[in-house]
């Protein structure tokens, strides 16, 4: 089945030649103790982090792809722990890269620092909001007072002229707060709500992810509310499959009957957002996946298909980033969904979804295996099941 431009945005370049987005973990130092941290962040900086000069060389590598150059997000840990952050942002901007930041909300995140980074060329800042209340969010972050500080920081981000993205990690412990979190996202004037589906890696192994059925319900709800704010899902590429399935369908509830979770999310959304009119058309999700348009560089220069898939494919200290991205055997395999195992390899949506490779790796140890977080049964499997039922009868 092919995607229409209205349902899913496709990259305008070959994903095997260049990435659409690169996340660089500039440090693992962070003063928070987040329960879902994929990086097991630490309090102090690692002396073996990429230096400023090595960082410039990495940015040169990313700029060398030419137009369209990858989007670059500087993350951590907390990138604001690096004193050379404004210098790196200014350098990346000067060589034609679009630079964004994903800081932790600590005392280092101040208006003067945000102004300095904006003047250096930073375009956007993403902040994490993992609960509708201080109790939920602060328990996620491991430090009291972070919820209020996050709301204050979000207002400051927009006030200094930066685009605001809100990141939310969904677990079974906070899924019922999503409608109220949506209201906060809208009240803050966020340009994008990026919803992360928990991968059991790092400290996240201690939390409880949604079941596949619950994830399906949440993805349908997210598509419902995508008329209110642009939605991006992380480690749930089957959101694109849902967008395609729903395109042009009028009686959605007849075709995709809501279960108890989606019904509750809808009810609470209606109650929470009384009087709001949908102001926009849904923004179609973009066809990017681990190793296919996306790559992650850690604090010491190791390159990964994703920050949630701890399988290094090279180091920028030994090879140029373009050589690693184009030549890695694992990255090549991740760009060939026909080689995926189980349902993912048989699925008619595999070329625009491909499943969460990080979920597959975390649960089976094989990044090419079937994604257990997706509920969907491929059409070929359903046909075989129907034939079996007829033979049995």
Closest C-alpha to 225, from 188, 272, 260, 171: 272
d(CA 274, CA 279): 14
Encode 2-19: b = buried (16+ Cβ within 10 Å), e = exposed. Answer: ebeeebbbeeeeebeebb
**Can you list the domains of the chain with their CATH numbers?**
21-289 (3.20.20.70)
Task: Provide the greatest CA pair distance for the chain.
Answer: 73
Q: Could you read off the pLDDT of 317-327 as tens digits, one per residue?
A: 999 999 999 99
Predicted TM-score (pTM) of the model is: 0.92
22, β-bridge pairs: 72, 295
Q: Could you read off the pLDDT of 176-234 as tens digits, one per residue?
A: 999 999 999 999 999 999 999 998 765 556 578 899 999 999 999 999 999 999 999 99
Helix (H, G, I), strand (E, B), or coil: what is residue 353? coil
Instruction: Please report where in the chains the tokens 């630079």 appear, as a residue.
Output: 99
Task: Write out the chain's pLDDT in tens, 393 residues.
Answer: 444 447 999 888 899 999 999 999 999 998 765 555 545 556 678 889 999 999 999 999 999 999 999 999 999 989 999 999 999 999 999 999 999 999 999 999 999 999 999 999 999 999 999 999 999 998 887 788 999 999 999 999 999 999 999 999 999 999 999 999 999 999 999 999 999 999 876 555 657 889 999 999 999 999 999 999 999 999 999 999 999 999 989 999 999 999 999 999 999 999 999 877 666 788 899 999 999 999 999 999 999 999 999 999 999 999 999 999 999 999 999 999 999 999 999 999 999 999 999 999 999 999 999 999 999 999 988 765 444 444 444
Within 13 Å, how many C-alpha atoms sit on residue 55's CB side?
27
The 3-class secondary structure across 161-225, one letter per residue, is CCEEEEEEEECCCCHHHHHHHHHHHHHCCCCEEEEEECCCCHHHHHCCCCCHHHHHHHHHHHHHH
């Amino acid at each position: 089945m092919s995607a229409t431009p209205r349902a899913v945005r496709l990259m305008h370049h070959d994903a095997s030649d260049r990435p659409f987005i690169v996340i660089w973990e500039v440090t693992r130092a962070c003063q928070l103790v987040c329960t879902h941290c994929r990086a097991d962040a630490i309090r102090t900086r690692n002396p073996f982090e990429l230096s400023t000069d090595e960082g410039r060389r990495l940015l040169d590598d990313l700029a060398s792809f030419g137009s369209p150059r990858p989007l670059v997000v500087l993350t951590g840990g907390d990138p604001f722990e690096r004193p050379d952050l404004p210098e790196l942002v200014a350098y990346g901007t000067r060589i034609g890269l679009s630079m964004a930041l994903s800081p932790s909300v600590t005392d280092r995140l101040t208006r003067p620092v945000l102004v300095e980074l904006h003047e250096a060329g930073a375009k956007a800042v993403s902040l994490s909001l993992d609960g509708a209340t201080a109790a939920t969010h602060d328990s996620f972050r491991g430090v009291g007072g972070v919820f209020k500080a996050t709301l204050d920081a979000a207002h400051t981000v927009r006030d200094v002229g930066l685009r605001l993205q809100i990141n939310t990690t969904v677990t079974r412990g906070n899924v019922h707060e999503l409608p109220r979190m949506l209201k906060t996202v809208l009240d803050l004037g966020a340009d994008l709500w990026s919803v992360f589906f928990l991968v059991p890696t790092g400290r996240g192994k201690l939390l409880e992810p949604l079941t596949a059925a619950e994830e399906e319900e949440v993805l349908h709800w997210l598509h419902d509310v995508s008329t209110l704010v642009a939605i991006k899902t992380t480690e749930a590429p089957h959101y694109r499959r849902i967008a395609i399935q729903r395109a042009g369908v009028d009686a959605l509830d007849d075709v995709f009957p809501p279960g108890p979770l989606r019904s509750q999310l809808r009810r609470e959304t209606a109650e929470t957002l009384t009087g709001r009119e949908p102001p926009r058309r849904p923004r179609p999700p973009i066809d990017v996946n681990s190793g296919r348009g996306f790559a992650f560089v850690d604090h010491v220069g190791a390159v990964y298909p994703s920050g949630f898939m701890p399988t290094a494919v090279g180091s920028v200290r030994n090879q140029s980033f373009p050589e690693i991205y184009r030549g890695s055997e694992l990255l090549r395999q991740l760009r060939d969904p026909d080689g995926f195992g189980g349902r993912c390899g048989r699925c008619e949506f595999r070329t625009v979804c491909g499943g969460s490779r990080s979920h597959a790796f975390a649960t089976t140890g094989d990044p090419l295996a079937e994604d257990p977080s997706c509920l969907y049964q491929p059409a070929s499997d359903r046909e075989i099941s129907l034939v079996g039922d007829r033979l049995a009868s």
